[in-house]
Structures are given as structure tokens and as C-alpha cells.
Amino acid sequence: MKDAAYFLCSSCGSQYEPEGVVYTCPKDDANLEYVPDFSRIARAIRLTELQTRAEPSLWRYLPFLPVGDPGAHGTPLRQAGWTPLYRAGRLAAKTGVRALWVKDESSNPTASFKDRASAVVVARAREIGAEIVVTASSGNAGAALAGMAAAVEQRSIILVPRTAPQAKIAQLLVFGAEVILVDGTYDDAFDLSLAASRLYGWYCRNTGYNPFTLEGKKTAAYEIWEQLSADRFSWDTQPLTVFVSVGDGNIIAGIHKGFRELVQLGWLRNMPRLLGVQAEGSAAVANAYRLGVETITAVKADTIADSISVGLPRDGLRALRAATQTGGAYLTVSDAMILEAIADLGRMGIFAEPAGAAAYAGMVAAAGSGLVGADDAVVVVNTGSGLKDIHSAMQAVGQAPIIAPNLQALEKNLRRTR
Ligand SMILES: *Cc1c(COP(=O)(O)O)cnc(C)c1O
Ligand SMILES: [Zn+2]
């Protein structure tokens, strides 16, 4: 282990100085991974001290991150992360697993997991004095960048498909970002944003392309570890399985990295099993898993879950390895299963957007096929809020009756069931 941080290419293994590279590996364009200085972390923070930290945000893990303290106290940038881990006893009983928790990322400042990445990228942008930060997005990454940037008066430009859910586009506009609607797919917007950032010298946040996104996302693993420990989870004796929905694959790769770092620090003995869940209509990583290959072949993406509707995953290899290196697996779920999952989570007080509910849909499928069962403790990550896509939410549940304002009509329409 080196005693200083560096960037490691996830494909060819080349190492780079932290200040020497900005995006992907100069040799083969593969994703770069930040390797922190573990001895510095161990010096900077003790386990017991971490667990009593007063900072209820991802910034409690500052020594693990490749950025300095961003300040920004009292702003949404400072508030990203430290989302609740809810117990889901009824759904555990329903699916037959030993215990179930839902990590609810909808309570992030802009209501999705993407705030973790955008908070760290914006902190980095300020360190390098970037004038403009650009991102391609299916909606949430853009909303997160726009919100985090607004919090510290950083300028941002967001390229989203014109088909993105209206609520997400509204968020972008309200946060004051320069919003460009692309008449094409997320993949089209991605390619365009790369070309534009090269041409105009903008700092590019793109998921998987900018190595700092993974760094923000890994903090969710630290939190799951801390929160389960506080819930007296016995890591040494109970196997943990974590379900994550996968589009570009950056979230599952980040969660994998977070757990790996805890293992390397000696703070976690048993690596959790990571289960990646993709929509049937957008399953490039799941296809590679099924075929047993590490080549990710692009698909033509088509699913109700817009946040995981990705033709060519930009972090596909690491996303695949998150499952294969932890004894996990990949599953696919139909749009119908995703809608059912929205309703199931809703009945425990959690409002998920389709891509967030997909992880729970995968967990239901896994329980059905015996991939998880009575021996397993499970965490399902809900990655985004249902308020972001109420059109899909309304498809998941029945219509409410409309009645005349009198008791007779009310009596006739009451269901009083459930
Ligand atoms: C981005 C996103 C995902 C998928 O994350 P990837 O890193 O692209 O795999 C899942 N759910 C929601 C709500 C998202 O915004
Ligand atoms: Zn390389």
C-alpha cells in the first residue's frame, strides 16, 4: 500500500498522481479510481470518534474524500448524505428474509442519490477554480449538480433529454442552472457534453467519467455500515446483501468501493454481497453478467425507469465487478414489477421513483428465486424520490374516486380495506 493517495486505472492498472489527471485514463479511456492514503485516514480519524461525529452529512467522512473541507456550512451542499436507514419489518416478513432495511436517498437535498456525487464534484470544482461545471443527465444528476452549484454560487450547465420527467426539468430551472434540452437520449446528451466540455474548457461532472462522482457515492456504504452497526447488526455472523439499481453503474461501483475501503481499514470483516438490478429494457451490465464476460455491449434502452435508462453504461466494468467480486449477481425486472414495487414501498411510507423502486423489485425477484431467504439480512437502496415522476407513481396505484360532497356518496365509495 502506498503512503500517498493516487489514481488507479480500473482497466490497465496505470497509476497517476492525484493532481495529474482529471477524468479517465489517458492510455485507454477507462475509469480511474482514487486510492486514498489509508494510513493518513487511520491517523486522521479513529473508529470510535467517527461514530460519535456530530456532522449529519457525508462530510463526516472528509478524511476519506479526495477534496478539502468545502466549508459551505448551513447550505444544501453541506447537507448531502446521512440519509435514513429505515427498518422494513413488514416487507421482510412478506418476502421471507430475516431482516430488511431501506436506505432512503430521497431525503437528500435535491431528493436523489446523485447529491452525494454532485456535492463532492462541486467541492472539487471550487478547488480548481472551475468557472462552469457541465453535466449530461437523465435528470437527477443534473438536478443534484444544479442544486449543489446554486448553494455555493457556482455556475452550471445541464444537458438533459427533452423526454426527462417534467419535475426534474422544473428542479433544474428553479435552481437557476443553464438548462439545455437535447432532442435525443441520455447517451446522446452524454456525448454532446463531453465534446462541449473539451471545446469550451468546462469542468465536466459526467457520471463515471469524472472520478469524483464515485468518491461521493462511496459514502453511502460507510453510512450503511455505521447505521447498521448502531442498529446492533452483527457483521461477523450475519451475511448482508445490498440491492442497488444500475444504469451507468456508478452507484453500485461506489458502494462497492466504500465497503472495500472499510475492509482495507480493518473496520469491516465481511464484505457484503452486492446485487445489481437493471430494467429488462436497459440491461447492458446484466447481459454481460449472464454471459459471463467483462465486455459491456450497448443496448437500445427502453424503460419507465428513466434514471436507469442507459444504452452504454459509463461505469459498466466496475458495476459488473461489484457483483462478481462480492458473490453477488445481476437481476432484471420488468416495468410492471417496478410499478408494483413503488406501491409496496409506498405502503411503508417511502415514496420512490421508478429507478429507486427497481432495487426493491429486484429484491422481491431474488426472494422468489431463492437468491435471498431466511438467512439473509438485506438493505435495499431507494435512490430517488417519487415526487420526481408522479406520472409513473399514478400508474403504480389506482385512481381515487370523485364523489358528491355528502355522506351517502362517501359511504358508497369507502373501501375501508387494507
Ligand atoms: C442515477 C440513478 C440511478 C443509477 O445510478 P448509476 O450510477 O447510473 O447506475 C438509480 N436511481 C436513480 C434515482 C438515479 O438517479
Ligand atoms: Zn488505463
**Tens of pLDDT, residues 207-260:** 989 999 999 999 999 999 999 999 999 999 988 999 999 999 999 999 999 999
Angle 340-345-346 (CA atoms, 0-180°, nearest 5)?
A: 95
Helix, strand, coil percentages, rounded to 5, for the chain: 45, 15, 40
| Average of per-residue pLDDT values in the chain | 95
The dihedral of CA 71, 84, 100, 304: what is its sign? negative
CA of 416 to the centre of ligand 1 (A): 37
Task: Find out whether the beta carbon of 114 lies less than 6 Å from any atom of ligand 1.
Answer: yes
Q: Considering every ligand atom, which ligand is closest to the CA of 117?
A: 1
Q: Which one, of 46, 39, 83, 45, lies nearest residue 63 by Cα?
A: 45
Confidence check: pLDDT of 275 > 80: yes
The CATH code that applies to domain 87-110+216-397 is: 3.40.50.1100
pTM value surpassing 0.85: yes
Residue identifier of the C-alpha nearest atom 1 of ligand 1: 307
- Write the single-letter amino acid at 311: G
* CA 262/CA 388 separation, integer angstroms: 33
Q: Which atom of ligand 1 is nearest to the CA of 251?
A: 7
381 Cβ inside 6 Å of ligand 1: no
CB 361 near ligand 1, within 6 Å? no
Report the pLDDT averaged over residues 267-296.
Answer: 97
Report pLDDT for 53.
Answer: 83
- Per-residue confidence (pLDDT) for residue 300, from 0 to 100: 97
- When pLDDT is averaged across residues 116-129 and rounded to a whole number, the result is 97
31 lines ligand 1 (CB under 6 A): no
Q: Is the CB of 254 under 6 A from ligand 1?
A: no
- Beta-strand ranges (E) seen in 36-79 are none
CA 156 distance to own-chain centroid:
21
Residue 268 reports pLDDT greater than 90? yes
- Percentage above 90 pLDDT, the chain: 91
The pLDDT confidence band at residue 2, using thresholds 50, 70 and 90, is very low
Q: Which residue has the cell 447529491?
A: 115
Residue 353 Cα: closest atom of ligand 1:
13
| Ligand with smallest separation from the Cα of 312 | 1
Which letter does DSSP use for residue 185 in this model?
Answer: -
285 lines ligand 1 (CB under 6 A): no
Q: Which ligand is nearest to the CA of 11?
A: 2
Minimal-distance CA residue to ligand 1 atom 2: 307
What's the one-letter identity of residue 41? I
Predicted pLDDT of residue 3: 54
Query: Looking at residue 19, what is its pLDDT?
Result: 82
pLDDT of residue 110: 98
Tell whether the model's pLDDT for residue 1 goes beyond 50: no
Q: Does residue 144 have its Cβ closer than 6 Å to ligand 1?
A: no
Closest residue by Cα to atom 13, ligand 1, is 384
Question: Measuring CA to CA, which residue among 207, 205, 159, 157 is closest to residue 182?
Answer: 159
Residue 247 CB–ligand 1 contact under 6 Å? yes
Radius of gyration of the chain measured on its C-alpha atoms: 21
Report d(CA 342, CA 389) in Å as an integer: 11
Average pLDDT (316-330) is: 98
Q: Is the Cβ atom of 251 under 6 angstroms away from ligand 1?
A: yes
Strands (E), 51-154: 85-87, 99-104, 132-136
Atom of ligand 1 nearest to the CA of 248: 8
The answer, yes or no, to whether any atom of ligand 1 lies below 6 A from the CB of 383, is yes
pLDDT, greater one: 373 or 1: 373
CA 341 to centroid of ligand 2, rounded, Å? 39
**Residues 135-164 pLDDT 10s:** 999 999 999 999 999 999 999 999 999 999
pLDDT at 323 over 60: yes
pLDDT tens-place string over residues 366-401 = 999 999 999 999 999 999 999 999 999 999 998 899
End-to-end C-alpha distance for the chain, whole angstroms: 56
Rounded Cα distance, 287 and 275, in Å = 14
Could you tell me the CA-to-CA distances from 40 to 3, 43, 45, 46, 265 in Å, in that order? 8, 5, 9, 11, 11
